[in-house]
Structures are given as structure tokens and as C-alpha cells.
């Protein structure tokens, strides 16, 4: 999955492996749903609406997500996140209404 900021370092070698968009989208949906464990991902499996909103073809299993992140070394993952995640709180022109 390539974005304007970098290439996602996740990689699977199985021919049945999920695409990166589905794996990352599953993690995003899980976090936004308040989940704190891989096992909670299975609660998203029956939802057909939210994945479609993110352009995903399906919600992947917790095992696929776990295996994908297990093979990712910390330095590479951290570097990718630091170049990909936007930090609006660092923008000096951002004003709050408080």
C-alpha cells in the first residue's frame, strides 16, 4: 500500500495473504471501535458497511493481523509510522476553540 508519505512495510508471502489495505483497515476499525486486543477484531468480521467505507474488500482475521505485525521489526515499523502519520497538534497555526 503506497501513500503520499511512504510504502507500508507489511508483507506476507502466502498466496492467500490479505492485501495491506484490508489488514491496516482492520486495525484502524478495531482501534476506532475501542478494541485493545487482537481477539476483539473478530467482532468486526460480520460488518459489511464499515469496511466498504474504507475501500476494503473484507475484514481480515486476527491471526492475519497478528502474523503481519509479528514479522515487522520495530525500527522499520517506527520509521514508517513517523513518516506516515500526520501530527496536526504540531501545526503552529492550528487553533482550538477553547
Q: How many helices (H) and strands (E) does the chain have?
A: 4, 0
Q: Looking at the whole model, is its pTM more than 0.95?
A: no
Angle at CA 84, nearest 5°, toward 79 and 87? 105
Q: Per-residue DSSP letters for 56-88?
A: -S-PPPHHHHHHHHHTS-HHHHHHHHHHHS--G
Residue 75's pLDDT is 92
Q: What is the mean pLDDT of each run of 10 residues along the chain (98 residues)?
A: 64 86 90 87 80 87 90 88 71 53
Amino acid at each position: 500500500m503506497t501513500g503520499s508519505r511512504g510504502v507500508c512495510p507489511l508483507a506476507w508471502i502466502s498466496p492467500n495473504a490479505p492485501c495491506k489495505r484490508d489488514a491496516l483497515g482492520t486495525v484502524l476499525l478495531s482501534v476506532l471501535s475501542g478494541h485493545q486486543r487482537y481477539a476483539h477484531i473478530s467482532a468486526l468480521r460480520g460488518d459489511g458497511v464499515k469496511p466498504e467505507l474504507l475501500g476494503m474488500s473484507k475484514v481480515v482475521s486476527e491471526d492475519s493481523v497478528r502474523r503481519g505485525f509479528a514479522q515487522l521489526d520495530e525500527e522499520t515499523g517506527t520509521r514508517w509510522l513517523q513518516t506516515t502519520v500526520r501530527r496536526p497538534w504540531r501545526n503552529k497555526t492550528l487553533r482550538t476553540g477553547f
